[in-house]
Amino acid sequence: MRFSSLAVIGVAAFALAEKATLSKECPFDQVCYQLNIPNNTATTGKGDIFFQIHASTDYRWVGLGQGDTMRGANIFLIYQSANGKNVTLSPRYGVGNEEPLWDPRADVELLEGSGVKDGWMTANVRCGDCDRWAAGVMNFQSDSGDWIAAMRKDDPLMSDDLEESLQQHDESKSYEWPLNNAKGGDEANPFVAGAATTVTNSDSSSDSQGSKAWVMEHLPKIHGSLATLVFVILFPIGGILIRVANFRGGIWIHVGVQIVAWIAAIGVVASGIRLATTLKLFVRAHPIIGMVLAVLLIGQPVYGIIHHRMFKKMGQRTGWSYAHLTIGRAVIFGGMINGGLGIMLAGDADQKTVIGYSVIAGVLGILYIAAIIWGERRRKRTKMGATGFPPSEDQARLINRGDGQGLAEPQGQEMKPLWLGKERGHDRTSTEYAPLEAGEGYGEPSHSRSHSRAPSPTPSGRYSDRRSVSMDGRARISMT
Ligand SMILES: *[C@@H]1O[C@H](CO)[C@@H](O)[C@H](O)[C@H]1NC(C)=O
Ligand SMILES: *[C@@H]1O[C@H](CO)[C@@H](O)[C@H](O)[C@H]1NC(C)=O
């Protein structure tokens, strides 16, 4: 292959005075592009270039563009004309992954030899201003240039409308075209018989479609799926768990889920940065919000640990608690909204993706809000005491200093005092604890309540073996 390519170049160089050189790339099955940069354009960097798009009529449309991504690219689309005998050439400029817009000012022309024949579409094109377009330039004096290719396999469009709306491409690729192979010849249609010698860049084209094309093709989906898993599913579930998992060790489930999500978030940030740099998207809302969320997340595990330690020590929420809670909530709601912005930015999401994301984000968002409200109300209620009366100073101390975990904090080993007797007007200050469970009611099964309601129980009743009162009056319960 290489040898024959070299041989062709050698022959081409020998015959350069008369013949143009065509460089050929075939990035998709039954789709090939050829390019010629006339000697004058290659020398001065300005002037006409010629290219051909040649594709099977199995394709609805085929596109060729200058640039390394769809965004900002100078794009040429072809599709079958209304009568099916020729092709329609529609110059467009790329605006992200949305449909490229018709560019009425492009200096392009369909040449002799274009048409639809024997199941093939051919567009021979002269472009007079391809060295410079709205969002980019291409230096034809240099050895190579960035190009993109895209296509959709479907029924033919059959349209003469230059602004014809297209469906999303099936596949797109970006590659470097070695322009050196395309240089030479006069500024005349090189696609008429015998006017040119063709060099097929078979080796280079398969190499050069490498990483950039892969990024374009797969990374958005990986980034979006992972981000949804982390910000819309895992973080909210971890946040809900800390409010509702009131069993021993519940806090460790919260810690486990959030640590897994936090580590996965590193992948979300890394893939996001890669996408933003490749697609030059740093000045859009989605990546900016994403970076803010990433910065907020950095210290979150540490705030959580300090909050927990301080809570055990002080028996109440501290600044660390509010930092941990506020950042957690901001990141979850911000992440959910930013996911929507990301889908909009990608621009090519199908309806299933949009609906699926909205449903997942909606359901988990509502559950999360419900868990916050429920948790905060219960916290308040616990603080006020089961009777609804503000607790006495003694009781408050018990609530706040309970078992280290603190009664006021709706967390794992949380306890709830039962001011028995008081509720019934008994003069009883003995405080019973029961693990607080999800839902109303006290954690202890009904026998505890019936026991406690027994008339004039002794303070050293059935539960005294499980409670020890330390010197400072702190009540302890061993939770079994
Ligand atoms: C190419 O163009 C340059 C200047 O435009 C000229 O000097 C040179 O002879 C040309 N070469 C060929 C092979 O036509
Ligand atoms: C297609 O259109 C181009 C430009 O008008 C013309 O040169 C060419 O001959 C046409 N092809 C056919 C098959 O009519």
Q: Please state the φ and ψ torsions of residue 446, each to the nearest 5 degrees.
A: -55, -25
Q: What is the best residue among 114, 125, 162, 189 to mutate for testing ligand 2's pocket, by most ligand atoms within 8 Å of CB?
A: 114
130/44 same-domain check? yes
User: What's the Cα-to-Cα distance from 340 to each of 125, 165, 418, rounded to whole Å?
Assistant: 40, 24, 46
Quick one: which atom of ligand 1 is closest to the CA of 186? 14
Residue 29: inside a domain? yes
What's the gap between Cα 254 and its chain centre? 24
CA of 123 to the centre of ligand 2 (A): 9
Residue 63: inside a domain? yes
- What percent of the chain has pLDDT above 90? 44
Ligand 2, atom 12, lies closest to the CA of: 115
Q: Which structure tokens are listed for 423?
A: 């509720």
* 128-156 tens-digit pLDDT: 999 998 888 999 999 889 999 999 988 89
Please, are residues 145 and 139 in contact by the beta-carbon 8 Å criterion?
A: yes
What is the chain's mean pLDDT, rounded?
77
Quick one: which atom of ligand 2 is closest to the CA of 117? 13
Q: How many CB atoms lie within 10 A of CB 57?
A: 18
Quick one: which atom of ligand 2 is closest to the CA of 111? 7
Residue 421: inside a domain? yes
Please, are residues 124 and 195 in contact by the beta-carbon 8 Å criterion?
A: no
Ligand 2, atom 6, lies closest to the CA of: 112
Q: What is the CATH number of the domain that holds 222?
A: 1.20.120
* 426-477 tens-digit pLDDT: 333 333 333 333 322 233 333 333 344 444 444 443 333 333 333 343 433 3
Residue type at 264? Answer: A
Residue for token digits 């994301």? 357
Section 214-227 average pLDDT: 83
Q: Please state the φ and ψ torsions of residue 265, each to the nearest 5 degrees.
A: -65, -30
103/228 same-domain check? no
Residue 36: inside a domain? yes
- Structure-model confidence comparison of residues 305 and 8, the more confident one: 305
User: What's the Cα-to-Cα distance from 91 to each of 23, 45, 64, 162, rounded to whole Å?
Assistant: 21, 21, 10, 8
Section 337-358 average pLDDT: 87
Q: Which of the ligands is closest to the CA of residue 45?
A: 1
Edge to edge, the sheet with strand 144-153 lists: 101-102, 87-93, 74-80, 59-66, 144-153, 171-178
pLDDT at 320 over 80: yes
Q: What is the CATH number of the domain that holds 115?
A: 2.60.40.1210
- Ligand 1 contact, 39 CB (< 6 A): yes
pLDDT at 62 over 50: yes
Which H or E run includes 313? helix 300-314
45/139 same-domain check? yes
CA distance 15 to 6: 14
CA of 120 to the centre of ligand 2 (A): 14
**Count of the separate structural domains present in the chain:** 3
135: domain range? 2-209
283/240 same-domain check? yes
CA distance 176 to 182: 13
- Ligand 1 contact, 159 CB (< 6 A): no
CA distance 73 to 96: 9
203 — pLDDT class (breaks 50, 70, 90): very low
Final residue in a domain of this structure, among 155, 189, 209:
209
Quote the pLDDT of residue 212.
Answer: 58
